[in-house]
Amino acid sequence: MVRFIAMLVGAAFTFVLALALWGTVSTAITDPAPESAEHEFHLHPKDAELSSAGFFGKFDRRQLQRGFQVYKEVCAACHSLKYVAFRDLEEIGYSEPEVKAIANQWVIETPSVNPDTGEATTRKNVPSDHFPSPFANEVAARAANNNALPPDLSLITKARHDGPNYLYSLIGPGAYRNQPAELVKEFPGSKTPPGLHYNPYFANLNIAMPPPLTADGQVTYTDGTRATHEQMSRDVAAFLTWTAEPKLESRHAAGFASVVFLLIFCFLAWGAYQNVWRDIKH
């Protein structure tokens, strides 16, 4: 009797779920959601063609150093990099003395406490410190950016779909543009509000961040590379790809070694099978 009741309850539950699923599917077919301005005018990211892309991708150390320059001279004024320490820069080709100099000369100093008075103070950065935030707190960050909170960039390429390409497209040439007249005509309520900027690569088309890169030569590369708008966009995207996944190369190497091992193992297993059963007649 108990088993029969349990089967009956299960059948009823299954029927209700099937009914709800059918209702959802039929509604989606007969009455689809209207297209939004974001859906129609949003653009997919362009391919940044980074050397780290793909199964066998590797970082270009010179490009990472150029990207760090762009972050330091442009992005660091608003965006933090709190999960990266100064000493991590040795992994992209900086020497220990260079890292010490970068940490010591960084514009923002690390918050500290005066041991004599107990009052809040700051001190020079050392290689073991993480990159300090450009703002004291969230309120100060919003006050300086039209009430928008600049995201931390440590993991930004992992936090966004197709992160490296998205970042490259978001700040690259042609990203910031005038709002299309067709958009306002078709969706009158989608006019870019004051203080925001139209960017078709951003999720809702309107972004609070003003164009960070505005002209060629905004950064003077130490390696002599011509700093075009496109080059700077690609380089900083490469650098932030590294901050989000600094072990990418070792992961690729481990994956490749695992695949080779599995192929050899399969070959040996097949050979063992043939050897064990060679005298057995089927």
How much is the pLDDT for 27?
A: 59
Give the list of residues 6+ apart from residue 111 with CB closer than 8 angstroms, or none. Answer: 120, 121, 122, 132
| Position 117 pLDDT exceeds 60 | yes
pTM of full prediction above 0.85: no
pLDDT of 33: 45
CA distance 246 to 68: 14
Does the pLDDT at position 265 exceed 90?
A: yes
Q: What's the confidence (pLDDT) of residue 273?
A: 87
Per residue in 125-142, pLDDT (tens digit) is: 999 999 999 998 999 999
Helix (H) or strand (E) holding 237: helix 229-244
**Number of neighbours of residue 238 by Cβ within 10 angstroms:** 28
pLDDT of residue 192: 85
Query: What are the beta bridge partners of residue 198?
Result: 206
Question: How would DSSP label each residue in 13-66?
Answer: HHHHHHHHHHHHHHHHHHSPPPPPHHHHH--PPPP---TT-STT----HHHHHH
Mean pLDDT across the stretch 68-96?
A: 96
- Given a cut of 60, whether residue 241 has pLDDT beyond it is yes
Percentage of the chain beyond pLDDT 70 is 92
d(CA 282, CA 271): 18
The residue ranges of every structural domain in the chain are 37-84+131-250, 95-129
Residue 168: what pLDDT?
A: 97
pLDDT in tens, 16-62: 777 777 766 665 555 554 455 556 788 999 999 999 998 889 999 99
Q: Does domain 37-84+131-250 have CATH number 3.40.50.300?
A: no
